[in-house]
Chains A and B, each alone.
Chain A
Amino acid sequence: MNDKKWIVLGLILFVGLFSFPFWFNVGKAAPAPEVVLTEQAKAAKECVMPTDFMKTEHMQLLDVWRLKVVRDGVSQFVNADGKEFDMSLSNTCLDCHSNKAEFCDRCHNYASVNPYCWDCHIDNPKGDK
């Protein structure tokens, strides 16, 4: 039974190597991206819905919008404060958030989502590049 020390050493080595990715990356989590608001958005202060809702549900909201506009011919959105918006991806969302690269894209790149909407929808409705 004098293999005991080798077995223990082997075990320690194994556990160490096995958990390498975990301790190697400790404290290195990529920081959440800072989204930039345009002057127009800053002036508006609020999004179409409360910020928490937008953070988690904007994709569902957009889905409702396109469903209603295209399939039901309903085009206006009235939020809880009674503010009215045209239900349009390029003409409403990107009117306020015209800095798509620093807003939508920055967050999407971090979350590794790549919406295919821009194959058709205009991503620079104000004509600037």
Chain B
Amino acid sequence: MESSRRRFIKMAGIAAVGLSAHPAIKAVAAAPEHGPQYTLKTGDQALQAKQWAMVIDTRRLKTDHDLEPLIEACHKTHNVPHFTEKNHEIKWIWETHFHNAFPGNTSNYMSEEVEHRPYLVLCNHCQNPPCVRACPTKATFKRDSDGVVMMDMHRCIGCRFCMAACPYGSRSFNFKDPLLGLNEKEINLTFPRRMKGVVEKCNFCVERLAVGQRPACVEASGGALLFGDLTDPDSEVRHALRENFTIRRKPSLGTEPCVYYIV
């Protein structure tokens, strides 16, 4: 092969480019060497599932009195503030009327008892959650590890698109500093509060599942609320679904709610 000046300069140019990339390559390639020496794992006690789901036996929750302790348990555990003004209300789990819970499911001349029972509603942790698609920062997302629709408070910018997207009204916005609605003495010191300007909602008690406890409302319900893995045919919820006729909220929207109701 003949060597020419032109060829020599070409090769020198390529070599120069290669050399200039060296620091960048070194930075990337060398990183693992002094990487952190620790490992992460799920707790030994942690309850695990592919898709958590809940079955609410409304036959066993007949009056406001039956619901109150469950709501109280949730709101205490998560430091959910109490504001009397409707506009500022924060709710993770609350009661509503049949017509609001299941619009489109009403029939004429219904059983009065069924129609006037209080219905417990919360985030449905949908399998096809519209709020997740609306979030511009991925602050709300469907967690791969357990199917919970999570709120990452650290990313929430308070735009409230998720609230507009949720067909169940499961989300509340902190218009005020939540500390104003909390009793200093009753704060659960093991769970964070929230701040003004973020959206919040039920988290299916992920912090309790991580240490082997079932959700606070389920624990307080004395068996009226069932909780388990929807993908496991032997789970508590799958047994309940097999043995009872259940309905879900607004199924026609295609959100695939994971909270089922025995009526």
Contacts and interface: CB of A to CB of B under 8 A. Distances in A.
Interface of A: 49, 53, 57, 61, 66, 68-80, 86-87, 90-91, 119-122, 124-127
A86 B143 CA distance: 20
Given A78-B39, A79-B38, A72 B192 contact: no
Contacts of A61: 36
Contact of B190 (A53, A57, A76, A91): A91
A73 B42 contact: yes
A75 B195 contact: no
Nearest to A94: B189
A77 B206 CA distance: 17
Contacts of B145: 72-74
B150 A127 contact: no
Given A75-B43, A79-B37, 18 more contacts: A53-B36, A70-B150, A70-B152, A70-B153, A71-B141, A71-B152, A72-B144, A72-B145, A74-B42, A75-B42, A75-B211, A76-B43, A79-B38, A90-B189, A120-B192, A120-B193, A125-B189, A127-B189
Contacts of A126: 189
Contact of A77 (B40, B187, B191): B40
B161 to A, nearest CB: 19
A75 to B, nearest CB: 4
A66 B154 contact: yes
22 contacts: A53-B36, A68-B40, A69-B210, A72-B144, A73-B143, A73-B148, A74-B41, A74-B42, A74-B145, A75-B42, A75-B46, A75-B210, A76-B41, A76-B42, A80-B37, A80-B38, A91-B190, A119-B195, A120-B193, A120-B194, A120-B195, A125-B189
A73 B38 contact: no
B192 A74 contact: no
A80 B195 CA distance: 35
Contact of A76 (B40, B148, B152, B195): B40
B143 A90 contact: no
B103 to A, nearest CB: 33
A74 B208 CA distance: 13
B256 interface: no
A86 B145 CA distance: 18
A122 B193 contact: yes
B40 A71 contact: no
Contacts of A76: 40-43
A27 B194 CA distance: 45
B146 interface: yes
Nearest to B144: A72
Interface in B48-97: none
A80 B36 CA distance: 9
B153 A120 contact: yes
Interface string B80-118: 000000000000000000000000000000000000000
A73 B153 CA distance: 15
Nearest to B191: A122
A108 to B, nearest CB: 19
A69 B42 CA distance: 9
Contacts of A121: 192
Contacts of A119: 193, 195
Contacts of A80: 37-38
A71 B42 contact: no
B42 A70 contact: no
B41 A78 contact: yes
